[in-house]
Amino acid sequence: MGFIEILLVLVIVTDLALLGASRINSCIRFAAAQGILLGVLTLVSGAEGHTLRGIALAIVSAGVKGVLFPALMTRAIREARVRREIEPVVGYTTSVLVGVASLAVSLWISSRLPLVRPAASTLVVPTAFTTILVGLFLILSRKKALNQVTGYLVLENGIYSFGVALVEAPFLVELGVLLDVFVAVFVMGITIFHINRTFDRIDTDLLSSLKD
Amino acid sequence: MSPATLIPPILALVLAPFLLAIVNRTKAAFAGRRGQPWLQQYYDLAKLLRKGAVYSRTTTWVFRAGPIVSLAAVLVATAIVPLGGARAPLSFEGDIVLLAYLLGVVRFFTVLAALDTGSPFEGMGASREVQFSALAEPALLLGLAALARLTGKLSLSEIVATISGDPRATWFAEGPALVFVVVALAIVFLAENARIPVDDPNTHLELTMIHEVMVLDHGGVDLAFIEYGAALKLWVLGSIVVGLVLPVRTGAVLVDALVTVLGLGALAVATGAVESSMARLRLLRVPQLLVGAGAFSALALIFILMPR
């Protein structure tokens, strides 16, 4: 089991930690750690490897996901004054079990998914799928807008790890996606601020009671 | 069965209470106290064995059977658990399942004896013990299943001997999975032995106790049996964890066993450090920790089952 596998396993561990964490602060920290892990993964995985582009992509993505986004979200927390998710739709314990189940499903999917080019490791595809599923699940099962943003980031991390380890020249695509995500997080930060100012809370449930 | 295989159980029987002394001395060192004498556990056991017991009229034979059956089950467990490279005297295909059930028997009879007293506090402790162990057991069994699958062996002695004897095929090939199993088993070790962060062995407030509250009504010889059984349980689960972590295999049974005993001492120090540096988890958070351990075991099993 090489260095890549260890990185991928750590990514899966951060997925599970995100599912089990109740404090928004620790959620943000886990998502940041995942972003940095994926940056390192870009460096060691075969596709982009040690070219200048690969190194630049790794540094930019790790910087944006590991430093910039956490800073933006911490600021949003400070402005909205929220500490923890009070009542997630699905409990934390159940969430962790869902995470394990989604890993099993991802392994099953990836075992019958023909790849054009062999991946850097057999774990790449399952990890990417797990991270995507966990991100989706976080968006669905959490009520606080900030946790949903974290879920969105995790979802993007999953897609990113898929691209980095498999596709030949993901540089432009990845940068484009990164820009999109950056704008999304920026807009969501503003939205959170407004939700909070309108309702004094950032539970997105409240939005469904909006009428014109 | 060669005489050399008797070394692990003999060491266990003699040294098990000493592990508790190491834990206590570590906690004392953290708190800046001198701590109790190294042999205090033995003095306590000797004192309790000399005492008589008072039995409430509410209790039946179940209450008296509890400590005896529990101690007997733990003694059998000591006979099937190897000490690192040193094999256990009893070992056969499938004794990993027997180990899980022996621990289950210990718990079941402790719980029955607690319920037999009719005390509401003991009933509460029993309910908590059963709830938490129901969550800890999957973690233990899945972890053992992962180990069995990795080594292709079904007996504890063989599993531990394979893992410690051939680290190239186990630790280097399946390192992350083994780390998960060790983490999960370490959490089970803390939970089963009623240590922080699951339970506090020092607390004497009935509302927060789990294990201690169930043995409140036992005294004299019964209490000595329970304390000794608890020490042996600590030794048994600890020697599995240490056996996986310390891949030492010299071939000489005595050396292997002694190295593992040193490892157990280190584990006791680590336990003391954990107890000194963190608080007991809130009761609502404990299931989360145990399910997390189960998730780690499941992950390990999935990784090992994964086709390469």
Most B-contacting residue of A93, A94, A98, A108 (CB-CB within 10 A), to test interface: A93
Domain that holds residue A32: 3-206
Q: Does the beta-carbon distance from B295 to A6 stay under 8 Å?
A: no
pTM, 2 dp: 0.85
Q: Does the beta-carbon distance from A96 to B302 stay under 8 Å?
A: no
Specify whether the CB–CB gap between B211 and B129 falls below 8 A.
yes
ipTM: 0.76
CB nearest A97 (choices: B176, B291, B308): B291
Amino acid at A95: S
The number of domains in chain B is 1
Specify whether the CB–CB gap between B83 and B243 falls below 8 A.
yes
For A146-189, what is each residue's pLDDT tens digit? 788 888 888 888 888 887 766 655 666 777 777 777 777 777 77
Please identify among residues 223-252 of chain B the ones whose CB lies closer than 8 Å to any CB of chain A: none
Q: Does the beta-carbon distance from A111 to B307 stay under 8 Å?
A: yes
Q: Does the beta-carbon distance from A93 to B291 stay under 8 Å?
A: yes
Higher pLDDT, A79 or B271: B271
Report the alpha-carbon distance of residue A176 to residue B92 in Å, rounded.
60
Q: Does the beta-carbon distance from A92 to B173 stay under 8 Å?
A: no
Report the alpha-carbon distance of residue A185 to residue B257 in Å, rounded.
57
Residues of B in contact with A99 (CB under 8 A): 295
Q: Does any CB of chain B come closer than 8 Å to the CB of residue A90? A: no
Report the alpha-carbon distance of residue B170 to residue B158 in Å, rounded.
13
Bridge partners of A23?
A84
pLDDT of residue A77: 79
Gap from B130 CA to chain A (nearest CA, Å): 18
Specify whether the CB–CB gap between B264 and B112 falls below 8 A.
no
Judged by DSSP in three states, B83 sits in: strand
Residues near A13 by beta carbon (within 8 Å), at least 6 away in sequence: none
Q: Does the beta-carbon distance from A96 to B292 stay under 8 Å?
A: yes
Domain that holds residue B253: 3-305
Share of chain B above pLDDT 70, in %: 97
Give the CA angle between residues B248, B251, B255 to the nearest 5°: 65
Lowest mean pLDDT among A132-141, A177-186, B3-12, B90-99: A177-186
Q: Residue A123: phi, psi to the nearest 5?
A: -85, -15
Q: Does any CB of chain B come closer than 8 Å to the CB of residue A107? A: yes
Does residue A211 lie within any of the structural domains?
Answer: no
pLDDT of residue B198: 84
Q: Does the beta-carbon distance from A9 to B172 stay under 8 Å?
A: no
| A88-94: long-range pairs with CB below 8 Å, 24+ | A88/A141, A88/A142, A88/A143, A88/A147, A89/A140, A89/A141, A89/A142, A89/A143, A90/A137, A90/A141, A92/A19, A92/A20, A92/A21, A92/A22, A92/B288, A93/A20, A93/B287, A93/B288, A93/B291
Report the alpha-carbon distance of residue B169 to residue B148 in Å, rounded.
14
Q: Does the beta-carbon distance from B306 to A104 stay under 8 Å?
A: no
Q: How far is CA A39 from CA A64, A66, A170, B198, B292, in A?
A: 10, 9, 14, 36, 27
- No. of H helices and E strands in chain A? 8, 0
Does residue A36 lie within any of the structural domains?
Answer: yes
| B52-58: long-range pairs with CB below 8 Å, 24+ | B52/B220, B52/B221, B53/B218, B53/B219, B53/B220, B53/B221, B53/B222, B53/B223, B54/B219, B54/B220, B56/B117, B56/B118, B56/B217, B58/B116, B58/B117, B58/B118
Share of chain A above pLDDT 70, in %: 80
Residues near A157 by beta carbon (within 8 Å), at least 6 away in sequence: A11, A31, A34, A35, A38, A65, A131, A135
Specify whether the CB–CB gap between A42 and A58 falls below 8 A.
yes
Q: Does any CB of chain B come closer than 8 Å to the CB of residue A203? A: no
Specify whether the CB–CB gap between B177 and B300 falls below 8 A.
yes
pLDDT of residue A206: 67
What residue of A is the nearest CA neighbor of B173?
A1
Report the alpha-carbon distance of residue A128 to residue A179 in Å, rounded.
20
Q: Does the beta-carbon distance from A103 to B302 stay under 8 Å?
A: yes
Report the alpha-carbon distance of residue A94 to residue A86 in Å, rounded.
15
Q: In this model, does residue B172 exceed pLDDT 80?
A: no
What residue of A is the nearest CA neighbor of B299?
A100
Residues of B in contact with A16 (CB under 8 A): 292, 295, 299
Gap from A137 CA to chain B (nearest CA, Å): 17
Residues of B in contact with A101 (CB under 8 A): none
The number of domains in chain A is 1
Higher pLDDT, A104 or A121: A104
Most B-contacting residue of A19, A23, A100, A130 (CB-CB within 10 A), to test interface: A100
Q: In this structure, is the dihedral angle defined by the CA atoms of residues A173, A179, A181 and A187, taken in order, positive or negative?
A: negative
Helix (H) or strand (E) holding A132: helix A124-141
Specify whether the CB–CB gap between B143 and B300 falls below 8 A.
yes
Higher pLDDT, B176 or B145: B145
What residue of B is the nearest CA neighbor of A92?
B288
- How many residue pairs bridge chain A and chain B with CB atoms within 8 Å of each other? 42
For A125-152, what is each residue's pLDDT tens digit? 889 999 999 999 988 888 777 788 888 8
Does residue A200 lie within any of the structural domains?
Answer: yes
Q: Does any CB of chain B come closer than 8 Å to the CB of residue A98? A: no
Q: In this model, does residue B103 exceed pLDDT 90?
A: yes
Candidates B70, B80, B76; CA nearest to B8 is B80
| B32-37: long-range pairs with CB below 8 Å, 24+ | none
What average pLDDT does this structure show over A91-119?
A: 84
Gap from A197 CA to chain B (nearest CA, Å): 32
What average pLDDT does this structure show over A74-82?
A: 76
Residues of B in contact with A6 (CB under 8 A): 175-176
Q: Does the beta-carbon distance from A9 to B308 stay under 8 Å?
A: no
Residues of B in contact with A107 (CB under 8 A): 302, 306
pLDDT of residue B269: 93
First to last CA, chain B: 39
pLDDT of residue B185: 93
For B66-80, what is each residue's pLDDT tens digit? 999 999 999 999 999
Q: What one-character DSSP code corresponds to residue B278?
A: S
CB nearest A93 (choices: B174, B288, B306): B288
B197: preceding bond cis by omega (within 30 degrees): yes
What residue of A is the nearest CA neighbor of B289?
A93
CB nearest B291 (choices: A9, A96, A123): A96
Residue in this structure with the two tokens 């030949």, named with its chain if needed: A168
Lowest mean pLDDT among A92-101, A102-111, A198-207, B115-124: A198-207
Residues of B in contact with A20 (CB under 8 A): 288, 292
Amino acid at B65: A
Q: Does the beta-carbon distance from B299 to A103 stay under 8 Å?
A: yes
Q: Residue B145: phi, psi to the nearest 5?
A: -65, -40
pLDDT of residue A171: 67
Q: Does the beta-carbon distance from A100 to B307 stay under 8 Å?
A: no
